[in-house]
Amino acid sequence: MRILVQRSLESSVSVNNKIIGKIENGLVLFVGFTLGDSEKEIDYLINKVLNLRIFDDENGVMNKSILDVNGEILSVSQFTLYADTKKGNRPSYVKALDSIKAKKLYKIFNERLSNYVKVETGEFGADMLVNIGNDGPITIALEKECTDDKK
């Protein structure tokens, strides 16, 4: 499982020219799943996202988490996080989890995350327009490799 985290002042996601998710101060998460991913990877990365200290404290030092600043999250499914470009110029997505399993894990991820912070989402599998007010800019990649031998 991979998550690309971007600190945001204001962000939104639209489908067919209609805003379906919008946040103020918080994080934009691009979330991707690969073969073998499970709820174990979800729990680990939720903990990382919630406790990632990338918000400024009163001294301007990145020392606060999204929980500390009462921030919001915009979560967007992103299978292209598993693009493989080692051969040729056309990305291969064979490492991305199939859409049925990925959609289930994405739903679980967002439900669990919403127990701690406000979560807005994009639409799984839709053609989305994401507007990000990347603050900093700060962008961090998080990953939890599957430990399942059945990969």
C-alpha distances out from residue 148 to 35, 59, 87, 145, Å: 9, 43, 26, 9
Number of domains in the chain: 1
Strands 128-143, 2-15: pairing kind: antiparallel
What CATH number is associated with residue 126? 3.50.80.10
Q: How confident is the model at residue 145 (pLDDT cuts 50, 70, 90)?
A: confident
Q: Which domain holds residue 44?
A: 2-143
Tokens of 52: 């990632």
**pLDDT tens, 36-63?**
999 999 999 999 999 999 999 999 999 9
Residue 75 domain-assigned (yes or no): yes
Q: How much is the average pLDDT of 10-28?
A: 97
- What is this structure's pTM? 0.93
pLDDT at 148 over 80: no
Q: Which member of 80, 85, 139, 147 is catalytic?
A: 80
Q: Is 148 a domain residue?
A: no
pLDDT digits over 113-133, tens only?
999 999 999 999 899 999 999
Residue 125 lies in a domain: yes
In a domain, 151, yes or no: no
pLDDT for 68 beyond 90:
yes
Whether 36 and 151 have beta carbons less than 8 Å apart is answered as yes
Question: Is 80 noted as a catalytic residue in this protein?
Answer: yes
User: Is residue 150 scored above 60 in pLDDT?
Assistant: no
Distances (CA, A) of 100 to 30, 75, 107, 125: 18, 18, 11, 10
In a domain, residue 150? The reply is no
For 11, 22, 24, 83, the CA distances from 19, given in Å and listed in that order, are 10, 7, 14, 27
- Is 103 domain-assigned? yes
Contacts of 57 (CB under 8 A, 6+ apart): 63, 64
